[in-house]
Amino acid sequence: MTTTDIQNEIIDNFSLFDGDMESTLFYLMDLGKKLPTMPDAHKTEDYIVKGCQSKVWVFPTFTDGKVYFEADSNTEITKGLVFLLWSIWNGQTPDEILNSELFFIDKIGMSRMIGSQRSNGFASMIKQMKLYALAYKTKGA
């Protein structure tokens, strides 16, 4: 699936809650559980995303021209947010990651859902994952 297809699916799923905050949060926490387990050995200071209130780790690898992420957080709601990015970008090429516009964020009303502090943290995650993609693109070029 393209990053656009995946985002459209996310928007569809969130629309089911019709803006109800509580069920949205429960849903996010359940999504977080779908993240593949990240080995503790990779949860080091080097892979912490700076700028998040919660702890978030993102560990990238690059195989056959595609970027793969391991990710985790110490809080469940944030883990759900990490899962959304992971589901869009895991296994995509650096170009796809760098060029994809994350239109789902506005469509699902993310800022209303998580507030401005967490929105900043979420922006840090996006920036960090794009930086990894850029690094692989530069290395691969």
From 3-11, 20-28, 99-107, 125-133, span contacting other proteins (CB under 8 A)? 20-28
CB of 52 to other proteins, least distance (A): 10
CB of 68 to other proteins, least distance (A): 26
Q: What is the phi-psi region of residue 28: left when phi exceeds 0, alpha when psi lies from -120 to 50, beta otherwise?
A: alpha
Token pair of 62 as six digits = 């690059």
From 43-51, 57-65, 76-84, 92-100, span contacting other proteins (CB under 8 A)? 76-84
C-alpha angle 107-89-110 in degrees, rounded to nearest 5:
25
Q: CA–CA separation, 84 vs 90, rounded Å?
A: 10
| Strand ranges inside 3-82, DSSP E | 56-63, 66-73
Check if 69 is active-site.
no
Give the residues lining the site for other proteins (CB under 8 A): 20-22, 24-26, 29, 53-54, 74-78, 114
- List the catalytic residues: 52
